[in-house]
Chain A
Amino acid sequence: MGGLLSSMLGKQFEEDIISGKANFTDPRFVNALAKLKDVSQYFAPNFTGVDYPSSQQLFVAGRAAMFAGGSYEVANFTKQNPTLDLGVFPAPVLKAGDQALVATYYDGGYAVNAKSDKKDAALKFVRYLATPEYGTAFTNTLKNLSPIQGIKIEDPITQEVAKLAENSMSYLMLVRFRYQEPSGSVLLQSNVQKMLAGQQTPEQAAAEINKGIATYYKPFQK
């Protein structure tokens, strides 16, 4: 959803969700789901039976033209098929002139155990992880963005990704709704699957997602 629908939701939608001014029955969310249902006619044949690894394989093998994924896929894809000529683009906008966005999240941090008997060595290592030297190696090996500033990115696709990341919103369900039950991701996945299978409308899917999150999310309970 982050990859495909972010531009249609918009940064304002995220703010409204946080403040409680809007919930997931908001027309912006329902319309974005309806658009997803609409473009699903262009998905791979029998896509409901294609799992994530198979969809990666379809793209790597050149049997799918587009892949809705993240920058973390680039190194994996180009390693599997070095001749793969790929580019990146942000989530499509609803109408010309809208801000084109990507969805981002902070993923993977480092910590040192306070009771470690090798604490000094561990801290030294963690400090190294924050140096431009490490950031450069990280970005150029894994072809993904590092939070460390001032890194010279060699790979043209990663340069492109870095430019896209300047206009971003949160990868909403992961960033905000992953840590309580039922998680936003679980609700989104099952209800979008149901919608794409034609068993519920975008309105119904949005209502179900909202109902699940409202059981614990205070701003929706007002």
Chain B
Amino acid sequence: MPVSPIQAHTLKHRSWVAFLVIPPVVFMSLFVVYPILSAFAYAFYEWRGLARGEFVGLANFKEVLFGPTMAPVVWNAFLHNVYALIALMIIQNGGGFLLAWLLYKEPFGYRFHRLAVFVPVVLSTIIVGFLWKLFLNPNFGLVNQALNSVGLDALAKPWLGDSSTALGALILANAWHFIGFPTLVYLAGMQRIPSEIIEAARLDGTNEWQLLKNIVWPLVAPSTTILFTLLFIGAFNWFEIPYVMAGLDGSPFGSTDVLGLVFYRTAFGNQSASIQNFGQGSALATMIFLFIVVFASALTLWLRRREIQF
């Protein structure tokens, strides 16, 4: 049967599309989808080191969520993730919003400050964690020396060794590291607002607070959507800063333990506990992943709805 010119064209078009689509799909399947699915599968088996044992169904999940050894550790860590999320939402994203507003108004030297606020974001987390560990050293760290030099010795503390301040210290270090990112995203969002809107509001005599609350905040909603979602994902995957500054056990006595550390200890063991349990580790990782997917999607949908088109 002869091929009509239209059919020939469609065929050519289709092979062209296939040529473009198949390589990335294969690549993604091999290096993204397959590892995720296999980690998911690992969670249903018992492990003896690297050797896969019997299929145990949901036993690993049950142990992680309700087992007398794992459950208290996991829930303690989960609460710290929630705590970090809330605190970073206020300090990192809220602070970023206010900094963006200051930069938006182009005060003296704003070009320098715009750059300066973003510099820490570029640094490696290992360096930032190490730097803050030095700052917070109880005996020769910058923070306590500064307090001592202005006569506030009473406030000087072993910040990372005191269970009431350790997690807060990690959160502040994280906020110092990343505040430049929300600042820049919010600044871009603010610069997208048509200037007539802000001028009109000013002419109508709104004060600064009303302007921020009723005009700027709703109009940077797309920035908020992306920043809140990324922070949510980041807060529940939090690992580097706690690992560098507090160690694998979340010292002191679990005060800085987060899910990422629990996962690492469970799956790969640590110096004080030579057990490696890939099954329970994979079960925990799977649950963290599902939790993030479900809640981050819900959060995104909810945040999307409050965005305004202009």
- Chain B residues within 8 Å of A193, by CB: 251-253
Complex-state Cα separation, A47 to B251, whole angstroms: 13
Within 8 A of A (CB), among B236-253: 247, 249, 251-253
**Stretch touching chain B among A20-28, A116-124, A174-182:** A174-182
Question: Interface with A: B199-207, B209-217, B270-278, which one?
Answer: B270-278
Given the contacts A181-B69, A199-B163, A49 and B137 also touching, CB distance less than 8 Å = yes
Q: Check: B106 CB closer than 8 A to any chain A CB.
A: no
A54 on the B face (CB < 8 A):
yes
Shortest B35–chain A CB gap in Å is 26
In the assembled complex, A44 has its CB within 8 A of some CB on chain B: yes
In angstroms, how far is the closest chain A Cβ from the Cβ of B47?
13
Q: What is the CA–CA distance of A51 and B245 in the complex, to the nearest angstrom?
A: 10
Q: A44-B139, A50-B138, A193-B253 are in contact. Are A185 and B272 (CB under 8 A)?
A: yes
Is A167 an interface residue, CB under 8 A from the partner?
Answer: no
- For B165, the closest partner residue in chain A by CB is A49
- The reply to whether the CB of B161 lies closer than 8 angstroms to some CB of chain A is yes
CB neighbours of A48 from chain B (8 A): 138, 158, 161-162, 252
Pair B161/A50 contact, Cβ less than 8 Å: yes
Q: Is A194 an interface residue (CB 8 A)?
A: yes
B254 within 8 A of A: yes
**A142-B277 Cα distance, complex, nearest whole Å:** 34
Is there contact, CB below 8 Å, between A183 and B273? Answer: yes
Rounded to whole angstroms, the CA-CA distance of A45 and B158 in the bound complex is 9
Q: Would you give the shortest CB distance from B242 to chain A, in whole angstroms?
A: 14
Q: How far is the CA of A111 from the CA of B137 in the complex (A)?
A: 42
B interface secondary structure, majority: loop
Tell me the chain A residues, 180-222 only, with Cβ under 8 Å from chain B: 180-183, 185-186, 189-191, 193-194, 197, 199, 212, 215
- Asked whether A41 is an interface residue with its Cβ less than 8 Å from the other chain, the reply is no
Q: A193-B252, A199-B163, A215-B69 are in contact. Are A186 and B158 (CB under 8 A)?
A: no
A149 close to B (CB within 8 Å): no
Tell me the smallest distance from the CB of B149 to a CB of chain A, in Å.
Answer: 17
Question: In this assembly, does A46 line the interface, its C-beta being within 8 Å of a C-beta of chain B?
Answer: yes
Complex CA–CA separation, A44 to B139 (angstroms): 9
Q: Is B113's CB within 8 Å of the partner chain A?
A: no
Q: Quick check: B275 and A215 within 8 Å, CB to CB?
A: no
Interface string of B277-308 (1 = CB under 8 A from A): 10000000000000000000000000000000
B272 lies within 8 A of A197 (CB)? no
A183 CA to B247 CA in the complex, in Å? 17
A50, B252: Cα distance in complex, Å: 11
CA distance A86 to B144 in the complex (A): 31
Taking a contact as CB atoms under 8 Å apart, the answer to whether B162 and A197 are in contact is yes
Q: Please tell me if B109 contacts chain A, counting CB pairs below 8 Å.
A: no
Give every chain B residue within 8 A of A194 (Cβ-Cβ).
252-253
- Which residues does chain B contribute within 8 Å of A50, judged by CB atoms? 137-139, 158, 161
Contact between B249 and A182 (Cβ–Cβ < 8 Å)?
no
A63 to chain B, nearest CB (A): 9
Convert B253-274 into 0s and 1s, putting 1 for each residue whose CB lies closer than 8 angstroms to a CB of A: 1100000000000000000111
B202–chain A nearest beta-carbon distance, Å: 50
Residues of chain A within 8 A (CB-CB) of B252 are 48, 190, 193-194, 197
Residues of A within 8 A of B275 (CB): 179-181, 183
Whole-angstrom distance from the CB of B65 to the nearest CB of chain A?
Answer: 16
Please judge, given known A-B contacts A48-B252, A215-B68, whether A186 and B161 are in contact too, CB under 8 Å: no
Q: Is B99 part of the binding interface, using a Cβ–Cβ cutoff of 8 Å? A: no
A212 / chain B contacts, CB cutoff of 8 Å: 69
Cα-based distance from A49 to B158 in the complex (angstroms): 4
- B273 x A191 contact (CB < 8 A): no
- B128-143 to A contact mask, C-beta < 8 Å, 1/0: 0000010011110000
Q: Which of B136, B137, B272 contacts A186 (CB 8 A)?
A: B272
Instruction: Beyond the given A189-B249, A189-B272, please list 11 additional residue pairs across the A-B interface where CB-CB is below 8 A.
Output: A46-B138, A46-B144, A48-B252, A49-B162, A50-B158, A50-B161, A51-B251, A181-B69, A182-B69, A197-B163, A215-B68
Q: Which 3 A-B pairs have the closest CB atoms?
A: A49-B158, A49-B161, A46-B138
Residues of B at the A interface (CB closer than 8 Å) are: 68-69, 133, 136-139, 144, 156-163, 247, 249, 251-254, 272-275, 277
Task: Sample 14 A-B pairs with CB under 8 A, ordered by A number.
Answer: A45-B138, A45-B139, A46-B158, A48-B252, A51-B160, A51-B247, A54-B137, A186-B273, A189-B249, A189-B272, A191-B253, A193-B253, A194-B252, A215-B68
